Amino acid sequence: MGIKKGQLVELSVDSTAFKGKGVARYNGQAVFVPNTAPGDVVEAMIVKKKKRYLEAKVISILKPSPLRKKPLCPHSEVCGGCTWQHIPYPEQLTFKEQHVRDQIERIAGLPGSIVRPIIGCENEFYYRNKMEYSFGTRRWLTEKEIRSDEYIDDTAFSAGLHAPGRYDKILNLDECHLQHPISFRILDFVRSYCIKNNIPAYDTNLKKGFIRHLVVRNSHHTDDLMVNLVTFEDDPEAMEVLTDHLLNEFPEITTIVNNINDQTNPTAIGRYEKILFGPGTITDHIGNFSFKIHANAFFQTNTRQAEVLYNVARSYSLGTNNRQLFDLYCGVGTLTLYLADAFDRVTGIELVDIAIKNARFNARDNNVPNVDFVHGDMKDTFNVEFLSEYGLPDCIITDPPRSGMHPDVVKQLSNLEVSRLVYVSCNPSTLARDLHILKTYYHIEEVQPVDMFPQTYHIEAVAKCIRKNNN
């Protein structure tokens, strides 16, 4: 008789999967169980049945793993932001390195020995320079409340993070340890202020309300601190009063902006923006370069570890000839500028228009004359005409989104006679998928994992690829 959804089973967790879930076996079939650690014996409920695997949730821990530790944050098991707080950081690093090695072997078909020992993060907590909080009218219930036979009212002004997989419910945070402690203090203050002054949160179902998001950005290398209040309506008087209260309570704040998102989309990016206090930007540094960061601009979330990642990419990019470098998916040009002094000419390519504008500004602001930035979709822009104008580079760095490179871009890179290719990835599975194709043309020398996000399953990796006909 087959297993049924809702059935309770006893499981022994023996490993971890890429998304941080523990892996157990039931009658030979893989079962993925969140919030577990290798060595746990748990009672779990089957919540999903697939052809090749099952998914379950923990009901109780019958025998805790020797690896298990008490999480610093009480929200860790339900928040989704820190799925590995119950695992000591050294073991987190071990699992992440193994995940990269597994993907390289299984998907790319390359030897796991090319994966180097992972580079860990100096700070296990308080390493983020940006946190995006949400406000809502319905809070996520605790596990105890969900199991209760009594009716529990979930309608309440809530501020925190979206419950995993739910756009309409907010986990009402009591604490958070990812960003500098002042970040949560600001969230708590704004929440209390709104409740006291009857300022409604935006209701995603009714499409009405006022305050939608709070985004806090702090600089690692300066004292700059930005508060970005995202609202559904433009109310200058209400924002002026709230700004005065924030500055009175937190004199550390150097700028406050108001993004007005009067659309139904759930993003924290407004249709337009107003500067309420200060310059509207903060300044941070990566290496010797300074960057002015706008409220909606992308910037590496872990500043200190970004320098570690960039140093790996830099070392992989250098060779006998360092005349020209292409930086694909260059964003606001942080890595492009970081490598500019090592090459005669560097060209960045990026699809997002505002990112290109920021990149050009950053180049001017840092007095870097030997960089160009080109706006366009990689699969369309990076072509024969582009190469005839800019020439063939000695090295290409590609840093695509989590989905990896478009197949047309992989094909273009495979056909180019470029001696060195450096692939920076935030997703080992798509990295391995693309390396599987590129390995026909490139010798994949090594892959270096770098941990940018402790307490999570996320992992960055950099691959060094040398053209085979140049060996």
Active site residues: 426
Q: How many CB atoms sit inside 10 A of residue 165's CB? A: 7
Q: Is the Cα dihedral 192, 198, 203, 208 positive or negative? A: negative
Pairing of strands 41-49, 53-63: antiparallel
Euclidean distance between the first and the last CA atom of the chain, given in angstroms as a whole number: 58
Exposed, middle or buried: residue 141 (CB in 10 Å: 0-12, 13-18, 19+)? middle
The Cα-based distances of 284 to 154, 184, 218, 252 in angstroms read 40, 21, 9, 16
Opening angle at CA 119, ends 282 and 177, nearest 5: 50
The Cα-based distances of 394 to 88, 343, 461 in angstroms read 42, 9, 22
CB 108, CB 432: distance < 8 Å: yes
C-alpha span between 111 and 115 (Å, rounded): 8
C-alpha span between 93 and 39 (Å, rounded): 17
Beta partners for residue 294, in sequence order: 281
Phi, psi of 304, deg, nearest 5 = -60, -45
The Cα-based distances of 310 to 217, 443, 455, 464 in angstroms read 21, 21, 22, 13
The Cα-based distances of 190 to 204, 243, 261, 267, 444 in angstroms read 19, 10, 18, 19, 50
Burial 383-415 (b: 16+ CB within 10 A, else e): eeebeeebeebbbbbbbbeeebbbeebbebbee
Beta partners for residue 172, in sequence order: 160
320: left (phi over 0), alpha (psi -120 to 50) or beta: alpha
Pairing of strands 289-294, 281-286: antiparallel
C-alpha span between 31 and 22 (Å, rounded): 8
CB 284, CB 299: distance < 8 Å: yes
19 Cβ contact partners less than 8 Å away, ≥ 6 residues apart: 83, 457
C-alpha span between 210 and 135 (Å, rounded): 9
